[in-house]
Amino acid sequence: MSNHVNKLKQIQTQVDQLMQRLEIDAKAAEVSALEADAAKPDLWDDPDAAQKIMQRMSKLREFITPWQKLSAQVADALELAELEGDSLDSEMEQEVVAISEIVEKMSFQAMLSGEYDDGDAILAIHAGAGGTDSQDWAEMLERMYIRWAEQNGYKVEIIERSDGDEAGIKSVTMSIKGAYAYGYLRSEQGVHRLVRLSPFDSASRRHTSFTKIELWPDIQGEIDIEINEKDLRIDTYRASGAGGQHVQKNDTAVRMTHLPTGVVVQCQNQRSQGQNRDRALQILKARLLELERQKQEAQLAVLKGENVDAGWGNQIRSYVLHPYQMVKDHRTNYEVGNVNAVLDGRLNEFMETYLRGQVSTT
């Protein structure tokens, strides 16, 4: 039984450290304060403020309750193990195994504790230099992320898609909806490189193609960023692709350019120009928010003396189909030989390896 006691003490220490890192006590105190606000008789005099209080309270409870239950479960098991000696040895063995599995699962969740990690994501794919090969590669990546989303229970919505000149796509922007979509997909930002025998080269020579992945949180509701109308150029055009007769016959698609930053957002999946404009503005705000976050991280990296070059050639992952088969993440050195499985959406191993590495360096 002493082995069980020692194991449970180790688990208890691990859970305590994770809860401290996630500021569970501080979040619990915030819930108590919000509950006091929610109990005030004039709460719904301001419906917008009341709704924000209730949403924040619900989100915090959803986050901290599993950790509080886990902590109590470990404490109860440890107390029982210390009291009962060897009389419940087999039962305690099962309890320790069950608790260990829960801790393993929740410790990974702790890696997804950023401000927007638990929410939806907007992912954009842009073909790089390389003409038709790169545009075909961009479409392959589009399929890969759609397959990954389907396999993991996420819902995908195409916001904007631009077809390639001969094959593939020039770009696509998609919303991926579901719990922790943004947290998982954080690992995918950057340049992805493909090496293969080109199906578009009559001599079947080996080509290298590059495609860039961008990601930002799909924040629901208002984003606290002010945009001056004078800083926007808004163009409308006829939508292409899926969407029904309505979008085919009218200039419903919207291209929105933020002049000070050069950020361009396009939206064509809504049924009216006004709806596309509203969605494009929401995405623009999310992109500007992400741009500001990246600037802050880059400034911090400079202060730390880190290399912050994000040049086009600095690919994060290579997919090699010839002369051998391998997918390798250059940030973690994690690699697999089954390229087809990866291109069919098996990305979780790459994502989890990257996220675990990020935690170990913070």
Check residue 260 and give its pLDDT: 93
Q: For the segment 309-337, what is each residue's pLDDT rounded down to a tens digit? A: 334 557 899 999 999 999 999 999 999 99
Q: Is the pLDDT of residue 248 over 70?
A: no
Q: How far apart are CA 336 and CA 316, in angstroms?
A: 15
Pairing verdict, β 190-197 and 315-320: parallel
Class of residue 88 by CB neighbours under 10 A (exposed 0-12, middle 13-18, buried 19+): middle
Q: Is the pLDDT of residue 304 over 80?
A: no
Q: For the segment 181-234, what is each residue's pLDDT rounded down to a tens digit? A: 999 999 999 999 999 999 988 888 899 999 999 998 888 666 678 889 899 999
Provide CATH code, domain 2-112. Answer: 1.20.58.410
Give the architecture-level CATH label for domain 121-362: 2-Layer Sandwich (3.30)
Tell me the sheet residues that pair with 257.
233, 264
Contacts of 126 (CB under 8 A, 6+ apart): 138, 170, 171, 211, 212, 213, 214
| Residue 29 to residues 23, 24, 25, 117, 118, Cα–Cα distance (Å) | 10, 9, 6, 22, 21
Check residue 309 and give its pLDDT: 38
Q: What is the mean pLDDT of residues 23-40?
A: 94
What does DSSP assign to residue 40? S
119-133, 141-155, 206-220, 232-246: least confidently modelled range: 232-246
Q: Mean pLDDT for the chain?
A: 86
Q: Is the pLDDT of residue 362 over 70?
A: no
Q: How far apart are CA 264 and CA 283, in angstroms?
A: 10
Contacts of 2 (CB under 8 A, 6+ apart): none
Contacts of 79 (CB under 8 A, 6+ apart): none
Check residue 310 and give its pLDDT: 35
Check residue 81 and give its pLDDT: 85
- Report the percent of the chain where pLDDT is more than 70: 89
Check residue 267 and give its pLDDT: 92
Q: Determine if the peptide bond prior to 66 is cis (ω within 30°).
A: no
Half-sphere exposure at residue 325, Cβ-oriented, CA atoms within 13 angstroms? 7
pLDDT-derived band at 112 (thresholds 50, 70, 90) equals confident
Q: What is the mean pLDDT of residues 64-77?
A: 93
- DSSP H or E run through 258: strand 253-258
Domain residue spans of the chain = 2-112, 121-362
Check residue 313 and give its pLDDT: 58
Check residue 233 and give its pLDDT: 94
Q: What is the mean pLDDT of residues 147-154?
A: 94
